[in-house]
Amino acid sequence: MGGEILAERGFEQDSMPTAMAGVVILKLAFGAFGGGVLSYLSEGARIPALAITGVVVVAMTALIGGYVYLRSGTQFDHYSRWATYAFLAGLGALLLASFVPVVGIAAFALIFTGFLLRLGYEMWQVRESRGRPAMQSVGLYVAVAGVFVHVLQIVIRMVAER
C-alpha cells in the first residue's frame, strides 16, 4: 500500500522519480511475497504452478473485465469503497486469527475479495477514462498482482498436497 501511495503522490506532483520509487516498492513487495510462497514447492513444480496461476488469473480478469465493460450503465465507483471495507475486515480477521487460527481462512477470503473488487473498480476507471493513464496502470498492476498472489497461494496448496 505504501508503494501505491508513493506512486500516486509522484504522479499527482509530476515527480517521475517519486512515482517510479513507488512502483519499485510495489514490484519488490509482490515479488518477495510471491517468491516466498513459491519457495514451498520443489523447483520442478514451480513453473507448472505459475502457469496454472497465470491461466486462472487471465480468466478471472477477462470475466471481471467483461462484466465491467458489458454493464456500461452501471456505476462501479462503490467497488472502491467495498474493496476498502473488505481489506479492513481482512486485516481485522488476520489480527483475530492470531488467537483463533481458523479465522485465517476468512481473512484470506476477505482480502482476496478486496483485490477482486479493486480490479473491477480499476477496470471501470480505465473504461471511463478517469484519472491519468499512468496511475490507471499502477492501479491495474496492484489489483492484478494481488489477485495473482492470492490465486498462487491456492494453487500452491493444491500442488503441495499432491
Question: How high is the mean pLDDT of the chain?
Answer: 86
Unique residue bearing C-alpha cell 476507471: 125
* Predicted confidence (pLDDT) at residue 161 exceeds the cutoff of 80: no
Q: Tell me which DSSP letter residue 13 carries.
A: T
> pLDDT over 70 for what percent of the chain?
98
**In the predicted structure, residue 71 carries a pLDDT above the cut 90:** no
In the chain, where are the structural domains located? Answer: 2-161
> Which of the four pLDDT bands, split at 50, 70 and 90, describes residue 98?
very high
Q: How far is CA 52 from CA 61, 75, 80, 121, in A?
A: 14, 32, 28, 25
Alpha helices in the chain (DSSP H): 2-12, 16-38, 43-70, 77-97, 104-127, 133-161
pTM, 2 dp: 0.80
Q: What is the mean pLDDT of residues 1-27?
A: 82
The cell for 125 is: 476507471
> Regarding predicted confidence, which is higher, 13 or 83?
83
Q: How confident is the model at residue 73 (pLDDT cuts 50, 70, 90)?
A: low
For the record, the C-alpha cell of 115 comes out as 483485490
